[in-house]
A and B are shown apart, each in its own frame.
Chain A
């Protein structure tokens, strides 16, 4: 009898320890629950359109997360994000069309090249402060778009490049699971980095630059690492999405997409990583299901971004934390 209770106790303790450890990795119970829901959703949802929406939401969610990794942590906003995404798309598409190498290898190359361009953009601008990197990445993004437009012989310019599917047969479920895996892997990597001493340096740099320098943090190296990683994610995602959509046009590098990703990440809550993913799952299906809203999509994004910036910088993540605090206060358990 006594032993049973002891065992129950130790199982409970062990369970709590597992939950604790997972939470520290960023996978708190509600997040695991939602991820599992997403993973088993194809069992209940047979509608292709809905599944496609989930895939698109995942894609923008991951982009918003990777964007937030720089924007929310080291306070350097990558203003040419769509350009970097598009660079990944074009690299992987051109490789698939002209060389016919394995598209998965192509994805890795796309990721590498985008990371490289990000690295050099960062290398040249990150030693300087704040706004400089934003301006520069804006110009770099625009240059990439202008190049995609101008290199008509290679990219077919505005007519767009047809991209073969990455996997035969091309099924939406496949894309859903690949992107879900990407979400979990990228989230885990980013969270591990943020939990390590590197993350502490990020926070120091983002919150008080001068104090960070004074306490011996070399800001440029950390910022460069952060920026490059975020660009690598953009390249990987962009490369994959080109295969999913089946066509790349220079438009994918336009300011509108940067705005969309940026708005999602700020609406979700700057510095929360997953906030952008939630915002994406909330807003993208909403806009898509109400076709009438499509025309006003960017207006709404822009307005939401402006409102969040002025009145509620914590975003959806802040809302969630406030709510959680209230619930725990009522129960009387300190959190």
Chain B
């Protein structure tokens, strides 16, 4: 009897730990999503594709080129940052210049098209092959008496560092302050001489970089393949829905909630029903709390 209780406790602990570590990834991806939405008013549907890009980048840097883990992660982040900047300049900039209709809807459709194009391109270029690694770092940590592979912990730490870095960037640097200014009042920002085009490109690139870094740091847990971005995309949408669209701070808390919810429901329901449960919860949240648990400043979307 006592033994059984111990096991239960161990499973619970394991579940919470897994969820918590996974939550770090969701938080960092959702922060990117929230940033892009808050500044550019884009409901980013292709966020998962930059996650996959980061994963591919890290895979080729780590395995093919034989770089060390840190360098591989840097390569992946740089790649997705660049890809984000190019996307913004190629697609959203011209749309902003020409679009006469409702911007939110048009931009959303554009990201949907982009998502399909990127996913299919990955499939054409890399094939439907899983490209994963066993681990970046060949050690493990002892946490609460449990052995946790180093990769998980480090991926979590990377997510935290990325979020903290972004926070620092937004609060302390000139460009970061400009980003926040644009998210608060576009016209006001233009009046004080902020170059809107540059800020929007920078924002989109930063958001993509957060996704890419997430994909790269999770490479040993979930391998890179063309449709790998779907799950993190749904999860990070889940997070921003919980947190309230555009609420960057809430996205961090939301990330952990979703991570733990996923690992617990996965344990009790199995993979198929876990997805159903997540989506149903998401729908209920959208219905009863469309502005999220922590509220949002952006009213125009919902009303």
Contact = CB atoms under 8 A, between A and B. Distances in A.
B124 A299 contact: yes
Interface string A129-152: 111101110011011001101101
A303 interface: yes
A139 B282 CA distance: 8
Nearest to A136: B286
A75 interface: yes
A139 B91 contact: no
B287 A124 contact: yes
Contacts, number: 118
B63 interface: no
Interface stretch (B71-79, B112-120, B157-165, B209-217): B112-120
Interface in B95-120: 95, 98-102, 104-106, 108-110, 112-117, 119-120
Given A143-B280, A150-B273, A298 B117 contact: yes
Interface in A102-153: 124-125, 128-132, 134-136, 139-140, 142-143, 146-147, 149-150, 152
B301 interface: yes
B116 A149 contact: no
A259 B111 CA distance: 11
Interface residues of A, number: 43
A302 interface: yes
A77 B109 contact: yes
Contacts of B94: 310-311
Given A130-B105, A310-B91, A303 B117 contact: yes
Contacts of A79: 112
Contacts of A298: 116-117, 119-120
Nearest to A207: B101
Contacts of B104: 130-131
A266 B303 CA distance: 26
B145 interface: no
B95 A299 contact: no
B128 to A, nearest CB: 11
A152 B272 contact: yes
Contacts of A139: 279, 282-283, 286
Contacts of B91: 306, 310
B257 interface: no
Contacts of A305: 109, 112-113
A266 B109 contact: yes
B109 A309 contact: yes
B234 interface: yes
Interface in A301-319: 301-303, 305-306, 309-311, 313
Nearest to B302: A128
9 contacts: A129-B302, A146-B279, A259-B112, A259-B116, A262-B112, A302-B120, A303-B113, A306-B113, A309-B95
Given A77-B105, A134-B105, A298-B119, 19 more contacts: A75-B105, A79-B112, A128-B290, A128-B303, A129-B300, A129-B303, A130-B102, A131-B105, A135-B286, A143-B276, A146-B276, A146-B279, A259-B113, A299-B117, A302-B114, A302-B115, A306-B110, A309-B95, A310-B98
User: Which 7 A-B pairs have CB atoms at the shortest separation, nearest pair first?
Assistant: A150-B272, A302-B117, A302-B116, A305-B113, A143-B279, A298-B120, A146-B275
